[in-house]
């Protein structure tokens, strides 16, 4: 479903060359729910931007559902849903319902199909109480649920989530996670999630990709990730140690994650 082969992206800033992503190869099978982790500046957003066609790679190759995202952005838009937790894709001054209706027109979703999908999403995401509220008046939790609905109304095969629970309270987080878990299980939607919230990862993902300085440092299960730092059981501690180790200032003796520890399928 997602195939990256020796993917790279370089930025040139004045005289400096920044290797945001380098030589990144991974495969995500249909129906998998995969977390993409890494410290700030590791290259996660750049990877997502290449995967969604916002940025073109400077080297290597990426395919999403068989399409080259940078060249087939319109075709890909019909097969992929994207949620940026820090930025809404909804129309700020319109009621949520109108914003969703505009998405229907953009994605050319049949009216009846749209109504059925919206009815289902209204129940599952509890949108009913604020469908007529302008997006700018929604709470963060309501806005996030609206954004998730907008990303799914065209029933994409792949859902890319960039920090979808950022800023949410514990109850809203639990609701969003529960919805995403069900969506993956019941619709078989392939999900790639980037997050700094390890609760998201523990509750949703069996497979983790760890990006470090733009490269793939680990690809495997959560248990495999834990095993990289003996003596630590909490995933927060494990990840903190790995991130510190990548900076060269470990809390425990340095231990770089082993590349190529694969989980197989989730």
Ligand X SMILES: Nc1ncnc2c1ncn2[C@@H]1O[C@H](COP(=O)(O)OP(=O)(O)OP(=O)(O)O)[C@@H](O)[C@H]1O
Strand partners, 58: none
122 contact partners, CB below 8 Å, separation of at least 6: 128, 131, 149
> Which one, 9 or 232, has the nearer CB to ligand X?
9
Helix, coil or strand: residue 252: coil
**Residue of 7, 42, 176, 216 that binds ligand X (CB under 6 A):** 42
In angstroms, the first-to-last Cα distance of the chain is: 14
Q: Which residue has the tokens 């998201």?
A: 200
C-alpha 229/C-alpha 243 separation (Å) is 12
Q: Is 44 in the site for ligand X (CB under 6 A)?
A: yes
Figure out which of the listed residues 30, 41, 167, 188 binds ligand X, where binding follows CB under 6 A. Answer: 41
Q: Which of 13, 171 has the CB closer to ligand X?
A: 13
Could you say whether residue 156 binds ligand X (CB under 6 A)?
A: no
CA 51 vs CA 56, 61, 67: distances in Å: 9, 10, 10
Give the nearest distance from C-beta 28 to ligand X in angstroms: 18
| Residues in CB range of 17: below 8 A, 6 or more apart | 10, 11
Q: Which of 8, 24, 45, 192 binds ligand X (CB under 6 A)?
A: 45
- Note whether 20 binds ligand X by CB under 6 A: yes
User: CB 160 → ligand X: shortest distance, Å?
Assistant: 13
Tokens of 119: 């009815």
The residue among 18 and 70 lying less far from ligand X, judged by its C-beta, is: 18
CB of 164: closest distance to ligand X in angstroms?
A: 14
Q: How far is CA 209 from CA 43, 44, 214, 217, 260, in A?
A: 12, 10, 12, 8, 10
Pick the binder of ligand X from 22, 33, 35, 46 (CB under 6 A).
46
160 binds ligand X (CB under 6 A): no
Among 6, 11, 93, 188, binds ligand X (CB under 6 A): 11
Does residue 4 belong to the site contacting ligand X (CB under 6 A)?
no
Q: Is 156 in a helix, a strand, or coil?
A: coil
Q: Which of 8, 43, 95, 141 binds ligand X (CB under 6 A)?
A: 43
Tokens 């109108």 -> residue: 98
Per CB under 6 A, 18 contacts ligand X: yes
The reply on whether position 242 binds ligand X by CB under 6 A is no
Output 10 or 102, the one with its CB closest to ligand X: 10
259 in Cβ contact with 218 (< 8 Å): yes
Residue 122 CB burial class (10 angstroms; 0-12, 13-18, ≥19): middle
Nearer to ligand X among residue 41 and residue 66 (C-beta): 41
Contact status: 167 vs ligand X (CB under 6 A): no
Residues at the site binding ligand X, with contacts judged by CB under 6 A? 11, 13, 18, 20, 38, 40-46
């Amino acid at each position: 479903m997602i195939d990256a082969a020796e993917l790279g992206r370089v930025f040139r800033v004045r005289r400096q060359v920044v290797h945001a992503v380098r030589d990144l190869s991974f495969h995500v099978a249909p129906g998998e729910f995969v977390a993409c982790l890494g410290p700030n500046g590791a290259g996660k957003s750049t990877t997502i931007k290449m995967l969604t066609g916002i940025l073109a790679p400077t080297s290597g190759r990426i395919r999403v559902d068989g399409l080259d995202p940078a060249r087939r952005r319109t075709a890909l838009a019909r097969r992929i849903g994207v949620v940026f937790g820090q930025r809404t894709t909804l129309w700020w001054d319109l009621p949520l319902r109108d914003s969703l209706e505009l998405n229907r027109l953009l994605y050319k979703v049949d009216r009846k199909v749209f109504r059925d999908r919206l009815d289902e999403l209204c129940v599952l995401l509890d949108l009913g109480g604020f469908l007529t509220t302008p997006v700018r008046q929604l709470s963060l939790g309501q806005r996030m649920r609206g954004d998730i609905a907008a990303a799914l109304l065209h029933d994409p095969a792949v859902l890319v989530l960039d920090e979808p629970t950022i800023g949410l309270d514990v109850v809203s987080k639990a609701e969003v996670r529960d919805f995403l878990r069900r969506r993956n299980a019941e619709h078989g939607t392939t999900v790639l999630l980037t997050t700094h919230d390890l609760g998201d990862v523990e509750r949703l993902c069996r497979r983790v990709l760890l990006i470090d300085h733009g490269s793939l440092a680990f690809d495997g299960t959560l248990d495999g990730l834990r095993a990289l730092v003996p003596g630590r059981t909490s995933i927060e501690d494990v990840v903190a140690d790995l991130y510190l180790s990548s900076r060269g200032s470990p809390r425990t003796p340095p231990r770089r994650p082993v590349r190529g520890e694969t989980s197989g399928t989730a």
